[in-house]
Amino acid sequence: MTELNPIAQAQAAAASVNTANSSGASAQLTDTFDTFLTLLTTQLQNQDPLSPMDSQEFVSQLVQFSSVEQQIQTTQAMQALLSVQAALAQLSSVDYIGKYALVMTDGALMQDGSAEWFYDMPQQATASQLVITNEQGAVVRTLDGQLGAGEHRLLWDGKDNAGNALPEGVYRLQVVATDADGERIDAAISVGGRVTGVELSEGQAIVEVGGMKVPASQIVRLRESPVDPTAPLPSVPDPTPPDEEDDDVPSS
């Protein structure tokens, strides 16, 4: 008679547990656990009295039984931990409300006839063009970009290349820049705005910045009050007063 081995199935199920499918894997482990109990009980009830089950094999199965149970408990503990972490992430993100944030995204909400982006050039460029597209991916405006390395600001007037005012909505920016060798330069694009809301979606905190919802993990800068989140922080004055100059001593 072919002997079923639920232990191998349980170990395989435990190895597959991750944050995405922990619930399903935990249910699979529990089902396999029940199957193991049924098989073990059946073996004990139907063993040959003249040739009982080997004690070493019995102990080995009990050890494996304990391993399966621990894997089930670990899975459930991981699920609880992930739930707590998600709740903590949401609670900590609530402190973002009212602050000005800089978010790594190429999409900005154009409203009241303007939209704003920031783009960071990692090196000097010899050519740079800013391409703005609408939600359908069509190019609506092209502008000359800055060539110097560092962070630059683009304030768009909401008009297309023909000077027509465009409807409000989400528009995206693409920076097409090349260096002296013709190699493309990848600029980091971000959008700044006040955080007006926080919500939890699929285990991660989502913040509303400038009318757009983005993961809190995309926030790269957060400040209390500056309207421009890229404005440098004020310098701290040196508390040590400058040395007073010695008075000239007239010669005798």
Kindly report, residue by residue over 135-189, the tens digit of the pLDDT. 999 999 999 999 999 999 999 999 999 999 999 999 999 999 999 999 999 999 9
The torsion angle over the Cα atoms of residues 242, 243, 245 and 246, rounded to 10 degrees, is 160
The pTM score is 0.56
32 domain-assigned: yes
Q: Let me know whether 111 and 207 are in one domain.
A: yes
Does 228 map to a domain? no
Tens of pLDDT, residues 116-132? 999 999 999 999 999 99
Last residue of a domain, one of 35, 66, 94: 94
Q: How far is the C-alpha of 119 from the C-alpha of 150, rounded, in Å?
A: 8
| Same-domain status, 79 and 191 | no
Number of domains in the chain: 2
* Residue 85 C-beta-side C-alpha neighbours within 13 Å: 10
In-domain check, residue 232: no
Lowest mean pLDDT among 40-49, 81-90, 117-126: 81-90
Residues of the chain with pLDDT > 90: what percent?
Answer: 34
pLDDT at 13: 45
For 71, the domain range is 6-94
- The per-residue pLDDT for 62 is 65
* Residues 117 and 137 placed together within one structural domain of the fold: yes
Which of 43, 65, 94 terminates a domain? The answer is 94
Is residue 231 one of the residues assigned to a domain?
no
Indicate if the alpha-carbon torsion angle 10, 16, 22, 28 is positive or negative: negative
Task: Measure the CA–CA gap between 17 and 28, rounded to whole angstroms.
Answer: 10
